[in-house]
Amino acid sequence: MAEEKATNKELEQYIQYLTTERQYSVQTQKAYRRDVQAFIDFMEASGGFNGFGAVDSVAVASYISYMNEKNYSPATTSRKLSSLRGLYKFLMRIGAASDDPFALVETKKTHNHLPEFFFEPEIDALFKAVSGDDPLTIRNRALLEVLYDTGIRVSECAQLTLKQIDFNVSAMLIHGKGNKDRYVVFGKSCADALHRYLDTVRMELAGIKGLVEPHVFLNQHGKPLTPRGIEYVLDQIIKQTSLTAKIHPHMLRHSFATHMLNHGADLRTVQELLGHSSLSTTQIYTHVTTEHLVDDYMKYFPGHGDADKHS
């Protein structure tokens, strides 16, 4: 029983580390906790769990075999193993484990699914759906403008505060993943929508709490919109259009990146605006910018001339 308490303590320490030092979102923390707990549950059901330090290569092989039997997708298996590697990296750092039994495990390569995005006419349709004068429509317009105009993550948008917006330079200071700050810029349409929302609707939603409530986007009760709340709002917006696509908040981020590249932005700029730590993460968007590539190819590639010239 004492060992179980010690193990739970280590897991809680790990989650606390993800919260304070890595500054992961609540959703990400829950995902890590689920992955680690799933492994603990497997060990318990397989004869007992004697702590993370007692896990060996045999236990790891058994767990991988179990996941294969459950027909987990390569992506799911890879994610679970990545969560456990992250745990052991932390445990070794604090001296709670001497090595990582998952370090040498090779997983099947996963197929990189191309990011889903909206074509520009579809984006226009979304904005037409939020062109009214209803207070919540005005808020939703500002929300849509911020997500598409800046490409910030939904969690970053939910956490956005008034102090982070500087209208004088048309930029926002975003607190991103891993405690990394970055500046993103926004255009006139986004600035206009934000001003309209902040100067009228937000004060109505916040009421007396508006004097102390720092968050930009509020629900009808004057409380900060959560990531789930933002997803609900976007679902309602797309229902007002003729679009058949199922919207996910990240699609606006993907659309931002794709449209930037389609219109000639360089990859490094998009990487910086998105807050990606690695350029390889941003490079996936180059696979969906075929229109820009075809235009450049037709414009600059000299070709071989007329066939008659080579006959």
What confidence category does residue 253 fall into, taking pLDDT thresholds of 50, 70 and 90?
confident
CATH of residue 198 = 1.10.443.10
Residue at a domain's end among 76, 93, 110: 93
170: phi > 0 → left, psi -120 to 50 → alpha, else beta; which? left
Task: Report how many domains make up the chain.
Answer: 2
Say yes or no to pLDDT of 154 above 80: yes
- The more confident residue out of 222 and 73 is 222
Exposed (0-12), middle (13-18) or buried (19+): which is 274, by Cβ within 10 Å? Answer: buried
Residue 218: phi and psi, rounded to 5, are: -120, 155
- pLDDT number for residue 306: 47
Decide if 234 is inside a domain: yes
**Structure confidence by residue, pLDDT tens digits, 185-202:** 899 999 999 999 999 899
Structural domain range at position 38: 2-93
Decide if 232 is inside a domain: yes
Same domain flag for 129 and 82:
no
Say yes or no to pLDDT of 286 above 70: no
Lookup result for tokens 């040498």: 104
Say yes or no to pLDDT of 2 above 80: no
Same domain flag for 131 and 218:
yes
Same domain flag for 132 and 275:
yes
Per the structure block, which two tokens stand in for 30? 């829950």
Same domain flag for 82 and 176:
no
Q: Known catalytic residues?
A: 153, 177, 250, 253, 276, 285
Say yes or no to pLDDT of 256 above 60: yes
Cα three-residue angle 6-11-14, rounded to 5 degrees:
125
**C-alpha closest to that of 78 among 111, 46, 48:** 111
**Structure confidence by residue, pLDDT tens digits, 96-148:** 888 888 887 765 554 455 557 788 888 899 999 999 899 999 999 999 999 99
What confidence category does residue 217 fall into, taking pLDDT thresholds of 50, 70 and 90?
very high
Decide if 302 is inside a domain: no
- pLDDT number for residue 1: 37
- pLDDT number for residue 195: 96
CATH of residue 15 = 1.10.150
Say yes or no to pLDDT of 299 above 80: no
Decide if 304 is inside a domain: no
- pLDDT number for residue 287: 55
Per the structure block, which two tokens stand in for 43? 């060990």
**Structure confidence by residue, pLDDT tens digits, 41-61:** 998 888 888 888 888 888 888
Element (H, E) at 70: none
Same domain flag for 57 and 179:
no
Same domain flag for 32 and 132:
no
**In whole angstroms, what is the distance from residue 246 CA to residue 238 CA?**
8
Residues with Cβ within 8 Å of 134's Cβ and at least 6 positions away in sequence, in order, are none
Residue 1 bridge partners (DSSP) = none
Same domain flag for 140 and 262:
yes
Share of the chain above pLDDT 90, in %: 28
Q: Say what the pTM is.
A: 0.57
CB 91 within 8 A of CB 97: yes
Average pLDDT, the chain: 81
Decide if 79 is inside a domain: yes
**C-alpha closest to that of 142 among 114, 121, 162, 113:** 162
Share of the chain above pLDDT 70, in %: 80
- Alpha carbon of 96 to those of 6, 241, 265: distances in Å? 10, 54, 46
- pLDDT number for residue 5: 39
Decide if 113 is inside a domain: no
Same domain flag for 149 and 281:
yes
Same domain flag for 124 and 173:
yes
Decide if 226 is inside a domain: yes
What confidence category does residue 166 fall into, taking pLDDT thresholds of 50, 70 and 90?
very high
Sheet harboring 181-185: ordered strands across?
165-166, 171-175, 181-185
Same domain flag for 225 and 179:
yes
CB 135 within 8 A of CB 187: no
Same domain flag for 85 and 145:
no
Residue at a domain's end among 93, 112, 140: 93
Per the structure block, which two tokens stand in for 79? 């994610």
**Structure confidence by residue, pLDDT tens digits, 76-98:** 888 888 889 889 999 998 988 88
Decide if 114 is inside a domain: no
CB 160 within 8 A of CB 217: yes
Same domain flag for 134 and 194:
yes
**In whole angstroms, what is the distance from residue 134 CA to residue 73 CA?**
45
